[in-house]
């Protein structure tokens, strides 16, 4: 199409609540960001047939609304933005005040990690045959592989992406 993603970024068709919402850390907030523009192309772009984005988005929003973990993510994000990212408060420069601020910050992250740990996947995670072969000859990687597999199985974004793709496949 000739359209650039510069400064704007890739905008998802289906947005999920993120811990990083409202952080203002994207390229568009930088002074040196290149302007978004378009170029003339020599080749004709032939798009694929449109996806049922509206329906998939509505189904995703229903799942997200029913999933308390995403509500917690939104709540933690609001607290991070208000109390740490765009902090506009002052407190006495005492050990107690600093300790309280740091303790609150740590508690917020502990809350985040505890809700992520509660996640149960609606899919099974297993290694590919080639990974299994590598692990047979490299036992040092076994622990790392197990941690990665567990992280994938508890990832709320992978779980929701899996649900969105399942909905799409089942519609066809």
Query: Residue 10 has what pLDDT?
Result: 78
Q: What DSSP line would sit under 138-166, residue for residue?
A: -THHHHHHHHHHHHHHH-HHHHHHHHHHH
Query: Residue 1 has what pLDDT?
Result: 56
Given a contact cutoff of 8 angstroms between Cβ atoms, the answer to whether 79 and 108 are in contact is yes
Query: Residue 2 has what pLDDT?
Result: 63
| Mean pLDDT, each 10-residue run in order, the chain (172 residues) | 70 92 78 77 85 96 93 94 86 92 95 87 91 89 92 92 96 82
Query: Residue 104 has what pLDDT?
Result: 94
Query: Residue 116 has what pLDDT?
Result: 85
Kindly list the domain boundaries of the chain, sorted by start residue. 50-171
Given a contact cutoff of 8 angstroms between Cβ atoms, the answer to whether 16 and 64 are in contact is yes
165, two tokens = 């793709």
Cα distances (angstroms) measured from residue 8 to each of 4, 22, 37, 38: 8, 15, 10, 12
């Amino acid at each position: 199409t000739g359209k650039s993603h510069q400064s704007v970024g890739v905008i998802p068709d289906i947005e999920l609540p993120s811990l990083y919402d409202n952080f203002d850390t994207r390229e568009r907030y930088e002074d040196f960001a290149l302007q978004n523009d378009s170029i003339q192309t020599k080749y004709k772009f032939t798009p694929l047939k449109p996806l049922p984005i509206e329906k998939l988005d509505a189904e995703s929003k229903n799942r997200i609304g029913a999933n308390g973990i995403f509500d917690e993510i939104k709540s933690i994000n609001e607290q991070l933005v208000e109390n740490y990212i765009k902090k506009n408060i002052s407190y006495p420069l005492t050990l107690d005040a600093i300790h309280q601020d740091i303790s609150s910050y740590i508690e917020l992250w502990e809350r985040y990690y505890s809700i992520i740990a509660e996640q149960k996947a609606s899919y099974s995670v297993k290694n590919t045959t080639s990974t299994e072969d590598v692990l047979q000859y490299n036992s040092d990687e076994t622990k790392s592989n197990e941690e990665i597999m567990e992280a994938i199985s508890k990832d709320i974004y992978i779980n929701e992406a899996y649900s969105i793709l399942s909905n799409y496949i089942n519609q066809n």
